[in-house]
Amino acid sequence: MNENLKTRLEPYRMTILLFSILSLMVIVLSIVSPFFLTLRNIKNILDQTSIYIILSVGMTFVICSGGIDLSIGSVIAFSAVISGIAMKGNVSVGVSVLLGLVVAMLIGCLNGFLISFIKINPLIVTLSTMSIFRGINILITNGKPVFGFSKAFTYWGSGSVGWLNWPIIISFIITLLGIIILSKTRFGYYTIGIGANEEALRRNGINTKRYKILIYTLCGFCAGIAGFIISARLNTAEPLAGTGYEMDAIAAVVLGGTDMNGGKGSISGTFIACLILGVMKNGLRILSISSNYQQLLTGLIILLSVASTEYKVRRKAKAH
């Protein structure tokens, strides 16, 4: 009976562990600070975490496929600036936002093409496009922000439906869609398959190059959505926006149980990991601990998560 229950719970082991960690953090911070478990602070955590949730969903697909995308921070800024310039040129809000999303997806498509067809290492490709589009962004704006947008645009950054702000709602929708796509569709199956054994898929007639392009395009789309929300929230498109966001997304993905080598991933795990990181950052701020420690902890989380995964892989290999 116990063995049967253990077998049935095995696929959810990581999710249960992450939820337990999150619950423990909430309990401890609630005891330490009376301000933590207030409705206002919970809403603030969800609102601030929403951007990382959206980015991390896209990053989960990329890492599941055995790749990585370091360009998402630059894509956030570039797509937002393109939308901002269009709006300042009297283009409608809807068309401007769509233009920004298309640009973000095209950058993702470019990454996927260079990785799959030209066969350049994902790290090199996305590091290069990160620098290229950050540089273009600074050139076209002269390093100055684009600002002063209409209320029809800024509403999506600060408007709400009942208690929940739109960024929170959008992040929940993208998470739900990510879970369905990764676990219930052919695209998700091939994403994991590419990370696990790309050659096997290719031998079975699957065009893995096309799927890689789609995976990076999806990641670009998520970065574009994040850029849209950030610029709508701040009423400005900063050429340097999104700097360092890729590290938080990677940290959330690996903490959430996705294997950095590919072939295994969990959107629900990524979602809970984002909440853990959000609670951690919020807790540090409430306790007046320097933001420098946030970067330190993020780096440690990535290192320890990857080290833990590698240890499990080697232990399993020795067992066989």
Residue 292's pLDDT is what? 75
Residue 317's pLDDT is what? 67
Tell me the C-alpha distance between 38 and 19, whole Å. 20
Tell me the C-alpha distance between 271 and 176, whole Å. 10
Residue 13's pLDDT is what? 81
Domain ranges of the chain: 40-308
Residue 59's pLDDT is what? 98
- When the candidates are 1.10.357, 1.20.1300, 1.20.1050, 1.10.3470, the CATH number that belongs to 40-308 is 1.10.3470
Total-model pTM: 0.93
Q: If DSSP codes are grouped into helix, strand and coil, which group holds residue 79?
A: helix
Residue 170's H or E segment, with its range, is: helix 166-184
Per-position pLDDT tens, the chain of length 320: 465 655 565 667 888 889 999 999 999 999 999 889 999 999 999 999 999 999 999 999 999 999 999 999 999 999 999 999 999 999 999 999 999 999 999 999 999 999 999 999 999 999 999 999 999 999 999 999 999 999 999 999 999 998 899 999 999 999 999 999 999 999 999 999 999 999 999 999 999 999 999 999 999 999 999 999 999 999 999 999 999 999 999 999 999 999 999 999 999 999 999 999 999 999 988 888 877 777 788 788 878 877 877 777 677 667 66
Tell me the C-alpha distance between 94 and 253, whole Å. 31
Residue 301's pLDDT is what? 80
Nearest to 58 by CA among 297, 303, 258: 258
DSSP per-residue codes, 260-284: TTSS---HHHHHHHHHHHHHHHHHH
Residue 288's pLDDT is what? 83
Q: Which amino acid is at 81?
A: V
Residue 318: count other Cβ atoms within 10 Å of its Cβ: 7
Residue 225's pLDDT is what? 98
Residue 264 contacts residue 192 (beta carbons within 8 Å): yes
